[in-house]
Amino acid sequence: MNYIKEFYTCKIVTLAVVTFNERAIKVYERVGFEKKDSFKMNTNGAVYEFLFMEKSV
């Protein structure tokens, strides 16, 4: 986040994480990311649900 603040002018950082990766989601929430929306995507030969998360910079 410090790198983003220093080198970019964005106000919000977003990421996508597969919903079964509960440990990663907990880490992202601990550092301030909030759950926003979900979507399904075909990847690695199967369809998985992903979660959009975002945090203000």
DSSP string, 9-20: --SEEEEEEETT
CA distance 42 to 30: 28
User: What pLDDT was estimated at residue 20?
Assistant: 97
Q: Tokens 């759950």 label which residue? A: 35
Region 38-46: mean pLDDT is 94
Q: pLDDT band at residue 1, thresholds of 50, 70 and 90?
A: confident
- pTM equals 0.85
C-alpha dist (Å) from residue 38 to 7, 20, 51: 29, 12, 4
User: What pLDDT was estimated at residue 5?
Assistant: 87
Strands (E), the chain: 12-18, 34-43, 46-56
Task: Render pLDDT for 13-37 as a digit per residue (tens, 0 to 9).
Answer: 999 999 999 999 999 999 999 999 9
Q: What value does the mean pLDDT of the chain take?
A: 95
- Quote the DSSP letter at residue 21: -
